[in-house]
Amino acid sequence: MTLAQVAELAGVSLMTASYTYNRPSRVSDEARSKVLTAAVQLGYGGPDASARSLRRGSTRALGVVMGEHLSYAFEDPQAASFLAGIADVCADAGYCMTILPITGASDDAARIPSAAVDGFIVWTTSDDDPILQAIQAMKRPAVVHGGPAIPGLGLVGIDNRAAAHAVGAVAFAGAERPAVVSFPLSRARIGTIMHGADARDVLFPVTRERLEGYRQAAEEIDIAWHRVPIGVCAHNDAAEAERITATLLSLPEPPDAIAAMSDEQAAGVVRAAVAAGRAIPDDLAITGWDDAATASHLGLTTVAQSLREQGAACARVALGEAPNPPAAPWSVVRRGSTRH
């Protein structure tokens, strides 16, 4: 069913029918109603979106790349806030949000150009992610959240190093054996325990910057970074953080302060601490990140940032509505999980 057929049945020209949908005030009431009547008779569902996009040169959709598998977008609670921020802006602009089918397979990058979108938003990924080059090659507006910074693409996020330094200082205050529960270091996503000195070649820029901030905080209380144990989690997941914390707490010299990288992880740290009979914060100080609902329920000291607002900022840049914004605001929220 095409617009031409509708126009024919209505007894008007193709253009009159087209204007009926796109600039209704451009046609007389009479012609408009003839067209709409014909459309109903024929069961015409409106102008074809692909043809319209082709002709107009705009798809009215924003592409979103989340992590290494499409479903990741709906598994990480932080990602949900971010997506909600994008959604707010897209809804106002009448844009669709198109989540690209990333699977972790080698042909992912090839799927980038085949997406019908006007711009791209990429959730923080590793320095070596080939998707970044594919997007760069598309020469469309694109923004990366968190990093890495790519020439020609926007960048939205907070100063993770500074924030980690600040919250790390609170986490480690009065501690003798600080530790870190970390996001993965590279796409290999190996869950293990390392020490500061081993944590080289961190390919996720957000993880790298936060580790640098924690390192600075540790060194400021005269703790050698190479002795700080780092529980590396493969995913942002409370259960995994709980397991790795249990391991950390059973070390010969168990930590008395743990800085995590999300409230989700921190919740797992808290559970492991309780299970091990540790008092919080006296036996173990704990910090999270993001100031999610969990953080206030558990009384976690954390880094507050608005992923929702950052998502919205990404969308505005990708839509061309705004220039790349300055680094997003953050603050340390002190609660009962740290010593004062």
Residues 16-45 that bind its own copies (CB under 8 A): 43, 45
Nearer to DNA, 31 or 269 (CB): 31
Nearer to DNA, 24 or 104 (CB): 24
DSSP letters for 163-197? HHHHHHHHHHTT-SSEEEEE--SSTT---EEEEGG
Whether the Cβ atoms of residue 292 and residue 263 lie closer than 8 Å to each other: yes
Q: Which of DNA, its own copies, none lies near 71, with the C-beta cut-off 5 to 8 A by kind?
A: its own copies
Please tell me the distance from the alpha carbon of residue 3 to that of residue 8, in angstroms, as a whole number. Answer: 9
Closest CA to 184 of 198, 157, 161, 204: 204
CA trace torsion 51, 52, 56, 62 (10° rounding): -100
Sign of CA dihedral 239, 250, 206, 166: positive
Applying CB under 8 A, the span of 23-31, 55-63, 151-159, 216-224 interacting with its own copies comes to 55-63
Residues found near DNA in the complex (CB under 7 A): 2-4, 12-16, 18-19, 21-22, 25-28, 30-31, 46-48, 51-52, 54-57
In the chain, where does DSSP find H-type helix?
3-10, 14-22, 29-42, 49-56, 77-93, 108-111, 130-138, 160-172, 205-220, 238-249, 263-275, 293-298, 307-318
Q: Which of DNA, its own copies, none lies near 94, with the C-beta cut-off 5 to 8 A by kind?
A: its own copies
Nearer to its own copies, 107 or 222 (CB): 107
Q: Which of its own copies, DNA, none lies near 251, with the C-beta cut-off 5 to 8 A by kind?
A: none
CB of 248 to DNA, least distance (A): 53
Nearer to DNA, 38 or 238 (CB): 38
Regarding 139 and contact with its own copies (CB under 8 A), the answer is yes
Residues in the site for its own copies, rule: CB under 8 A?
43, 45-54, 59-61, 63, 69-71, 73-75, 80-81, 83-85, 87-88, 90-103, 110-111, 113-117, 137-139
